[in-house]
């Protein structure tokens, strides 16, 4: 009797071990195949890093523009933002500046009302940025609509460097390059900027290939006739609006020399919160527009760019999550086998990370001085930033499922300090 029970226990344990090892092998295989797919995609993008945009640029194109600044408790930044906006290199008689305030409680509207060149719209209820944009879109007069955040400062020539792309009939939207500034966070700034340089290279290559849908919300511009308000519960209104432009048959482009500046959140908690919120928005938008997956109707964007980004932001985080869960359980059941399999897995992932950095790094480092930056430390930092993003995507997705959206301006208050950078370059 005892032997029979012992035999049953051993049998159950062996079966459990086999099941979890199979699950482990499956999850690791899916993750590795996804990484291989990205490696191929990165190689394809690298070919277009310096390609022509195939856009009819017109630097004499100076349409009327409506600059929209949504605010919620931005008393610490709004005065500098208005000063920065009024100082942009663009004909003043062609600029309309509108601040739409979402029921601020810190006196933000009072700081805006004193400026005669700025129109102020006050909302009596805090509904979120998407709702604010939907309201202000009804009254704008400019042919081009520029949306910019109160805590971001634009380079003086940001408009004259980006709007010429909109002179092309096939281009519907453009966005610019984010520069992180905060002297008190120099180490984090370097590591984050390193990853974002690679990220921006991808956006630039996607734009040259066709379109990119991952826009930078602090500075983006749209043709009025193609602009569509995001859903009210949208978290990533920037990506949501860019995708809608692409769905209408227009191109959405990243312009690398149209710069804007933002501070880095000062605490780890705030950085995680910021990444999770961004991740929620991306996952939300990808899911809403999943009909574009491998859809020839949208050309190379539907058959190549969107599937790759969908996999990166939607599939890979869950594959990583499944991998770590099965690793944890399998280590308990069969420590040696799991350790060997996991070791091989992480070795391959590390090779993948180095390969990606070298492939993309070559395309963004064109001088001997900058080529020296490709070293083991930078590769490690970039890979860790990559992992942070994936876990932020996973965490954001789980919170989205459990708690719903965080679309009502969950402000990162410790990033609302004065931006110490020289903006008005000649």
CB of 316 within 8 A of CB of 390? yes
Pairing between β-strand 152-154 and β-strand 251-263 as defined by DSSP bridges = antiparallel
Confidence of residue 420 (pLDDT cuts 50, 70, 90): low
pLDDT for 374: 47
- pLDDT(110) > 80: yes
**For 164-221, how does the pLDDT look when each residue is reduced to its tens digit (9 = 90+)?**
999 999 999 999 999 888 655 555 555 566 667 778 888 999 999 999 999 999 999 9
CA distances 86 to 181, 217, 218, 338, Å, are 21, 20, 16, 61
SS3 95: strand
How far is Cα 210 from Cα 53, in angstroms, rounded to an integer? 8
pLDDT for 317: 76
Q: Which domains, ranges and CATH numbers included, belong to the chain? A: 65-270 (3.90.550.10)
**For 30-82, how does the pLDDT look when each residue is reduced to its tens digit (9 = 90+)?**
777 777 787 788 878 878 877 888 999 999 999 999 999 999 999 999 999 99
How far is Cα 13 from Cα 11, in angstroms, rounded to an integer? 5
pLDDT for 150: 94
- pLDDT(103) > 80: yes
pLDDT for 213: 95
């Amino acid at each position: 009797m005892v032997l029979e029970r012992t035999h049953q226990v051993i049998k159950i344990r062996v079966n459990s071990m086999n099941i979890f090892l199979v699950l482990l092998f499956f999850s690791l295989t899916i993750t590795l195949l996804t990484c291989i797919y990205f490696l191929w995609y990165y190689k394809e993008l690298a070919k277009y890093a310096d390609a022509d945009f195939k856009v009819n640029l017109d630097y004499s194109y100076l349409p009327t523009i409506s600059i929209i600044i949504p605010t919620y408790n931005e008393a610490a930044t709004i005065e500098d933002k208005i000063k920065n906006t009024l100082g942009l290199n663009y004909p003043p008689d062609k600029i309309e500046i509108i601040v739409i305030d979402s029921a601020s409680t810190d006196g933000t509207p009072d700081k805006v009302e004193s400026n005669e060149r700025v129109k102020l719209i006050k909302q009596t209820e805090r509904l979120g940025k998407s709702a604010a944009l939907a309201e202000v879109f009804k009254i704008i007069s400019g042919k081009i609509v520029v949306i910019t955040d109160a805590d971001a400062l634009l380079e003086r020539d940001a408009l004259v460097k980006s709007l010429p792309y909109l002179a092309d009939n096939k281009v519907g939207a453009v966005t610019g390059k984010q520069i992180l500034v905060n002297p008190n966070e120099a180490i984090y700034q370097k590591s984050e900027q390193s990853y974002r340089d690679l990220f921006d290279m991808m956006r630039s290559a996607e734009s040259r290939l066709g379109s990119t849908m991952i826009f930078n919300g602090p500075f983006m511009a749209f043709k009025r006739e193609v602009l569509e308000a995001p859903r009210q519960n949208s978290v990533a209104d920037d990506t949501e609006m860019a995708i809608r432009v692409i769905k209408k048959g227009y191109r959405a482009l990243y312009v690398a020399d149209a710069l804007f500046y933002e501070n880095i959140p000062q605490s780890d908690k705030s950085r995680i919160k910021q990444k999770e919120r961004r991740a929620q928005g991306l996952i939300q938008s990808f899911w809403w527009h999943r009909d574009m997956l491998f859809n020839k109707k949208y050309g190379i964007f539907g058959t190549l760019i969107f599937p790759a980004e969908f996999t990166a932001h939607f599939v890979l985080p869950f594959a990583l999550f499944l991998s770590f869960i099965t690793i944890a359980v399998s280590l308990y059941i069969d420590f040696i086998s799991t350790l060997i399999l996991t070791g091989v897995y992480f070795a391959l992932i590390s090779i993948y990370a180095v390969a990606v950095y070298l492939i993309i790094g070559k395309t963004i480092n064109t001088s001997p001085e900058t080529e020296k930056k490709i070293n083991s430390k930078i590769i490690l930092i970039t890979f860790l930033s990559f992992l942070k993003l994936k876990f932020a995507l996973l965490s954001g997705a789980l919170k989205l499922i459990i708690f719903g959206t965080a679309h009502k301006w969950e402000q990162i208050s410790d990033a609302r300090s004065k931006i110490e950078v020289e903006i008005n370059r000649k």
